Amino acid sequence: MKPVIAFLVLFFGGVTIAYFMMQPKKEPLPIINPIDLEEEMVDPELLRIGQGHHIGQFSFLNQDGKRITEMEVKGKVFVAEYFFTTCGTICPKMNEQMRRIQLAFAANNDVRLLSFTVDPKVDTVEQMKRYADGHGAKEGQWHFLTGSKEKLYELARKSFFVLKPAEAQNLGDVGSDFIHTNNFVLVDRQGRIRGYYDGTSEKEVDQLMKDIDRLLVE
C-alpha cells in the first residue's frame, strides 16, 4: 500500500510542477521613456531620452489644503489623471473609474491616486474638496491637486506626457484636447511610467488594476 501512495504522491506532484513550468511567463510591464511616445506628446528637449525618465518634483495643495509633493508617492505605486471639476463629458466617467480603483485598493497603503486639475482658477481647494467628497475620496489616498497653472501644465508636459507642448503655449486658456485627455498614467515605486490606460473604459481600468497588483510585487 505504501509504495502505491508514494507513487501517487510523486505522480501528482510531478504533474503539478510540470503544469506550472509550462505556463507562459508574464513579461514585465514596459518602462516607458520619452523616446517610446509619439513625438507630439513630448517636450522637444526630452525627445531623445531612451532611459532613466522619472516623474519630476512637484508641490500642490490637495482638497484638504495640505501641501502634497513627490515625496507623498515615493516608494508607492500611483495612478495620475488630469481633469477639471466642471467637466461634464468624460471627467465624471474617469473619476467613477478612479473610485473603482480606490475601492479595490482602499486597504493598501502603497497605492495612491492623484487627480491634477487643468483649471486651477475654478478648481480652488474649496471646490476640489466639494468634488472629492462627492466622489468618496479617501483621505490620504486620493488627492485632488491644484496650484499654479504653469506648474501643473509643466508637470503634465514634461513628466506624464499627457499634454502636447504646442497646447501648453497659451496658458491663458485650457486647450480643448488637453481638457479631454482620457489617459490614466500608471507609475511605479521608482517614479517610472509603466502604462497608459483609457480612463473611461471599464475594461482598460480592469487591466490597470491587474497591473497595479503586478507592480506591488515587482
Parent domain of 167: 30-217
Quick one: CA torsion of 7, 9, 14, 16, rounded to 10 degrees?
Answer: 150
On whether residue 156 sits in a domain, the answer given is yes
Q: Indicate if the pLDDT at residue 70 is higher than 80.
A: yes
On whether residue 97 sits in a domain, the answer given is yes
* Strand-pair partners of 81: 115
Q: How many domains does the chain have?
A: 1
pLDDT value at residue 176: 44
pTM of the model: 0.84
On whether residue 204 sits in a domain, the answer given is yes
**Higher pLDDT pick, 3 / 127:** 127
Type of residue at 29 = L
On whether residue 12 sits in a domain, the answer given is no
Q: Indicate if the pLDDT at residue 94 is higher than 50.
A: yes
pLDDT value at residue 14: 53
On whether residue 40 sits in a domain, the answer given is yes
On whether residue 15 sits in a domain, the answer given is no
CATH classification at residue 96: 3.40.30.10
Q: Which residues contact 79 (CB under 8 A, 6 or more apart)?
A: 98, 101, 111, 112, 113, 114, 184, 185, 186, 187, 208, 212
Query: In 3-state terms, what secondary structure has residue 94?
Result: helix
pLDDT one-digit tens code per residue, 151-176:
998 999 899 999 776 554 444 444 44
On whether residue 96 sits in a domain, the answer given is yes
**Do 118 and 181 form a contact (C-beta atoms < 8 A)?**
no
On whether residue 7 sits in a domain, the answer given is no
> What's the mean pLDDT in 25-35?
90
> What's the mean pLDDT in 188-214?
98
Q: Indicate if the pLDDT at residue 13 is higher than 50.
A: yes
Mean per-residue pLDDT over the chain, rounded: 87
> What's the mean pLDDT in 5-10?
52
pLDDT value at residue 129: 98
> What's the mean pLDDT in 205-217?
98
